[in-house]
Amino acid sequence: MPANGAYAHLPRMEETEMDQHKLIAAITEKMADKQAVRGLFLAGSFGRGTADEWSDVDLIAVVPEGQERALADEWRTTLQQITPIVFWNELLRGVIVLNAISEEWLRCDLTIVTSKDFGRRAKNLVKPLIDHDGIYDALPDTLPPREPDAGTVRYLIHEFIRMLGLMPVGAGRHEYVTMVLGVGMMRGHLEALLMQDVTNPDPGGILHQSKLLPPDQMALLARLPYPDPEREALINANFAIAREFMPRARAMGKRLDIEWPEEFEAATRRRLALTLGEAAGRAW
């Protein structure tokens, strides 16, 4: 049954414009009638209690094994009965994930799981809307802090060095528009490295990064250059990012007992010095 009648006080949706809260209330009412739905939970920012007016609605439906496809097939019809849907997408990530956007641009994602696949969750990360089997009560209060992932950090280190080594290719071919995209990827690697130290076990998506990274790191990202498609500006931007990435990556690699790719870095320095000038080989 719906938990605590949390949305019962909201006005009927035909009386005012649809918003996330009215969408949640209407979905809960519709799903409560479906026998296969043993549980329905808010996840994401609504589940954590950190939602704002820009948040999407993340839902997890728990069904008996073998019922996942049946619920997925009728979910769009269920949503269409509440509000017109203008975007629809299905992802298969071991479980079924259904993305939808309404004509009011309300974003709603439904993940369909069995009770054994409910996953690594805790009471402070989800809110029950329907819970026939006491799933919520069996969850731990919180999860332990997240630790950096050595495999991810190792990948970031090697990929960052590889992309530095590709700079002469882009510059030599005068592919400056493509190099702008490359700078964005290098910034992304730096951001991903910084995010490895975020200990929140459910950090959520990148669209609230400023709530996860400390102010000094957000200031660092803000002051890094966004270059125009011009050769020297692009080269300088790559090296500015490298000067921030490399010492942090080395320190994190040491913490995680990751062997630093000394030969790869040295070969890349030599290649840059040969093709872009001696100073490029010692730019970080």
Residues 158 and 269 both lie in one domain: yes
Domain span holding position 67: 13-138
Residues 42 and 115 both lie in one domain: yes
In a domain, residue 187? The reply is yes
Residues 169 and 237 both lie in one domain: yes
How many angstroms separate the CA atoms of 117 and 245, rounded? 37
Widest pairwise Cα distance in the chain = 71
State the amino acid at position 228 in one-letter form: D
How many angstroms separate the CA atoms of 201 and 173, rounded? 44
Residues 157 and 127 both lie in one domain: no
How many angstroms separate the CA atoms of 43 and 113, rounded? 13
Domain CATH for 271? 1.20.120
Query: What does pTM read for this prediction?
Result: 0.83
Confidence of residue 244 (pLDDT cuts 50, 70, 90): very high
Residue that is last in its domain, among 82, 103, 138 = 138
**Tell me, what's the pLDDT at 16?**
52
User: How buried is residue 208: exposed, middle or buried, by Cβ count under 10 Å (0-12/13-18/19+)?
Assistant: middle
Residues 131 and 170 both lie in one domain: no
| pLDDT, tens only, 154-201 | 999 999 999 999 999 999 999 999 999 999 999 999 999 999 999 988
Residues 90 and 160 both lie in one domain: no
- 102 vs 17 pLDDT, higher one: 102
Domain count, the chain: 2
| pLDDT, tens only, 51-93 | 999 999 999 999 999 999 999 999 999 999 999 999 999 998 7
Which of 30, 23, 29, 86 has the alpha carbon at shortest distance from 55? 23
How many angstroms separate the CA atoms of 52 and 195, rounded? 22
Residue that is last in its domain, among 104, 138, 172 = 138
Helix (H), strand (E) at residue 157? helix 150-172
| pLDDT, tens only, 92-142 | 878 999 999 999 999 999 999 999 988 789 999 999 999 999 999 999 999
Residues 126 and 174 both lie in one domain: no
Report residue 103 as tokens.
């004509």
- Strand partners of residue 279: none
Residue that is last in its domain, among 109, 138, 167 = 138
Residues 181 and 95 both lie in one domain: no
Q: Are 125 and 202 in contact (CB under 8 A)?
A: yes
Residues 241 and 154 both lie in one domain: yes
Report residue 12 as tokens.
């009927």
Rg (CA), the chain: 24
Confidence of residue 221 (pLDDT cuts 50, 70, 90): very high
pLDDT at 9 over 90: no
In a domain, residue 3? The reply is no
